[in-house]
Amino acid sequence: MVKVGVVGYGVIGQRLADGVALQKDMELVGVADVSPTLAIRALKEKGMPYNFYLGMPENLHMFEELGIPVSGTLEELVQKTDIILDATSAGVGAKNKELYAKYNRKAIFQGGEKNSVADVFFHGYANYEKGLGKQFLKLTSCNTTGLIRSVDCLDREFGIEKVAITIIRRVADPGDYHRGLTNALQIDKAPSHQAVDLMTIMPHINATGILVHTPVTHGHIITVVATPKKKISKEEAIECFKKHPRIRVVRIADGFLGNASLFRYARDLGNPRGDMYEIALWEESVVNSGDDIMYAINIPQEAVTIPETIDGIRAALMMQPDRISATSETNKYLGMGKWIQK
């Protein structure tokens, strides 16, 4: 049984812990953080389903005052694990890497860290084999993760030469206040980092893109114009997407009008926190433009990277030898692809 620790129990860390706990071939040793945040207070109120380790021992008195049990230090957690999932704030993971290296432990970092922190910039479907046996992996960002899922899906079936994307980006996660309350759109200079990151993972594809920040919190939307090596019909593209266990094809006609509809649907399904591991792709958005194929996807930013992170565990520890067997195991335990009609 592979032993896993999660460092940073925030938006991503909570979901990583839950995702690992669902894997029947992994054991979640514990989670770590530095202060009694709302997430950790909620963990205590839920009965401490996960052992908690403290990243800053000098803050122990804060936890004692709140009656939050502490199982040990971050260093002790690292020693008990085979691999660490680092979900700390950008820059902190690079510092933590020294501790992981000290004990010769493997680690997976999230998209906020610089690519230089890891041996491989990783995606479970697009380049799983490159992560096999590596000590340090880094995940793509939420937008890039979902974008690559859809482009890789088409590329493996038909071959893709280039893509042009527009990202309509949520301004902050639900509950965040640090970006302020706005009634404006803000555009970044092109190309967006997601397009550059896609080319890093999939160097055979030429990509560019524009990013627009929007004052919403429940998900990003990306429009993609893909140029195939041979012309793809709308029907062929939709059929290809419908077979992918991490892409949910939805219809505007059925009431999926936008990102809020998907968030509400996830809550109606009973998904914890209203999470969705899969990206959604609107069937009515798939159109041909000359030889190009265009479509729009929804990126549930809080949970979309969880499956690919778990794929990373499988690659780094060589649990499965290839992307098909690895992603299939991850999908099975996370319950992904249940919506696919057999």
Q: What are the CA-CA distances from residue 187 to residues 172, 258, 299 (Å)?
A: 15, 21, 18
Yes or no: say if 111 and 138 are a contact pair by the CB < 8 Å rule.
Answer: yes
Distance CA 73, CA 83 (A): 16
Strands in 72-73's sheet, in edge-to-edge order, are 72-73, 52-54, 26-33, 2-7, 83-86, 106-109, 136-139, 120-122
Run of H or E residues at 14 = helix 11-22
User: Which residues is 297 bridged to in the sheet?
Assistant: 222, 281
33 appears as a binding residue in the annotation: yes
The closest alpha carbon to 157, from 306, 275, 33, 293, belongs to 293
Peptide bond into 191 cis (omega under 30): yes
Q: Is the dihedral of CA 233, 239, 245, 251 positive or negative?
A: positive
Known catalytic residues are: 142
Phi and psi, residue 36, nearest 5°: -80, 75
Strand runs labelled E in the chain: 2-7, 26-33, 52-54, 72-73, 83-86, 106-109, 120-122, 136-139, 160-170, 186-187, 206-214, 220-228, 247-250, 279-282, 287-289, 292-299
Q: What type of residue sits at position 178?
A: H
Say which residues have a Cβ less than 8 Å from residue 149's Cβ, sequence separation at least 6: 125, 244, 246, 247, 279
Q: What are the CA-CA distances from residue 21 to residues 50, 59, 332 (Å)?
A: 9, 27, 13
Task: End-to-end CA distance of the chain: give it in Å, rounded.
Answer: 32
> Which amino acids are annotated as binding site, given as ranges?
33
> Which amino acids are annotated as binding site for NAD(+), given as ranges?
33
